[in-house]
Amino acid sequence: MKRRLLLLCALAAFLTSGLSAADKIKVLILDGQNNHKWKETTPVLVNALETAGCFAVTVSTTPDSKAPKEAWNDWHPKFSDYAVVVSNYNGLDWPEAVQKDFESFVKNGGGFICIHAADNSFPNWKAYNEMIGVGGWGGRNEKSGPWLYVKDGKLFRDESPGSGGGHGKQHEFIVEIRNPDHPITKGLPTKWLHAKDELYSKLRGPAEVEILSTSLSDTTGKDEPNLMVRNYGKGRVVHNTLGHADYSMLERGFYFILQRSAEWAASGAVKATAEVPKDFPTDKVVPIVLEGYAPVKKP
Ligand code: ZN
């Protein structure tokens, strides 16, 4: 009887998730420091991935910014146990050994997804900036590389002097797909309305990335990249500048693009998340995703 119950449970889990635990793509989310409310946004990232049914998600939290140096000795995630690392981290430099391991992980075929303020991190870490292509703040300026943007459908790498990183007041804005043939963007509406968020602008860096989508900035008048991809060694990187707060992430557009990004970063293909959900935002309506999501209590 017990055995039958176990079998039924296993069957139910399989039917719910579509995949057994062993077949799921292993994803590691990093957090622990951020000038954003990472304790509120990490659960949303977890939920966005887990509701796809094809990911097994683990979270690794760094010591906080005031922790003694020794605390960092205990933080050394084994990146190679995962197919994809997602960073929700913006803070102090990681220990050198962790940085080296992370570089090897991506070079050897690991996937990396950089979310919102994670592109503010590590202005002096060369490999990290090559991976994300462009970043903001942290003293970034023309020495970090050109400002990457689109204007009248043309790509610009603007080398004129100036600081890197900016945004206007938070608002809902249109995201415009620039490459509809990439596995992450295939079949999506060319223009879709994203929930209230910061629209990052003037990002600078080595800028060797492919732009998948942009949004028109009210502060620069340029179409600023918000979804970028690149190959790094044998690995694949996705840089998504969206996701300032939980309310910015809690919509189908952000959820679905994160799910596809994780699948593509893991394998270079999109299969489990190939079908575009019927409630993907149009250019007018933003459906809010709450299903299965338990918000963290706000203080
Ligand atoms: Zn922000």
pLDDT at 21: 80
Distance CA 172, CA 244 (A): 12
- Tokens representing 253 are 């557009």
What pLDDT is stored for residue 109 in this prediction? 98
Range of weakest confidence among 1-10, 14-23, 99-108? 1-10
Take residue 164 and report the two structure tokens written for it. 């890197």
Q: What average pLDDT does this structure show over 217-245?
A: 98
Tell how far the Cα of 287 is from the centroid of ligand 1, in angstroms: 21
Q: Report the pLDDT value the prediction gives residue 289, as an integer from 0 to 100.
A: 77
- What is the model's pTM? 0.92
Domains of the chain plus CATH, in order, are 2-267 (3.40.50.880)
Check residues 220 and 285 and name the one with the higher pLDDT.
220
Percent of the chain topping pLDDT 70: 91
Expressed in angstroms and rounded, the spacing between residue 232 Cα and the centre of ligand 1 is 26
What is the distance between the alpha carbons of residues 291 and 160, in angstroms, rounded to a whole number?
46
* Tens digit of each residue's pLDDT (9 = 90 or more) over 13-70: 444 456 788 899 999 999 999 999 999 999 999 999 999 999 999 999 999 999 999 9
Q: What percentage of the chain carries pLDDT values higher than 90?
A: 87
DSSP string, 112-136: EEEEGGGGTS-TT-HHHHHHHS-B-
pLDDT for the residue numbered 9: 45
Would you state the pLDDT for residue 297?
46
Q: Is 116 exposed, middle or buried (0-12, 13-18, 19+ CB in 10 A)?
A: buried
| 5 has a pLDDT exceeding 60 | no
Q: Which helix (H) or strand (E) holds 252?
A: helix 252-267
What are the CA-CA distances from residue 51 to residues 149, 189, 290 (Å)?
33, 22, 11
Q: Measured between alpha carbons, how far is residue 202 from residues 40, 155, 191 in Å?
A: 27, 14, 22
What are the tens digits of pLDDT across the range 235-261?
999 999 999 999 999 999 999 999 999
C-alpha 200 to ligand 1 mean position (Å): 8
* Closest by Cα among 135, 131, 129, 130 to 147: 135
- Going by C-alpha positions, the residue among 93, 107, 116 that lies closest to residue 38 is 116
Does residue 123 have a pLDDT over 60?
yes
- For residue 129, the CA-to-ligand 1 centroid distance in Å is 19
pLDDT value, residue 292? 67
pLDDT value of position 18: 60
Q: 249 CA distance to ligand 1 centroid (A)?
A: 12
**Ligand 1 centroid – CA 51 distance (Å):** 24
- In this prediction, residue 12 has a pLDDT band, given cuts at 50, 70 and 90, of very low
Q: How far is CA 134 from CA 40, 187, 199, 292, in A?
A: 25, 26, 15, 34
Distance from Cα 8 to the centre of ligand 1, integer Å: 44
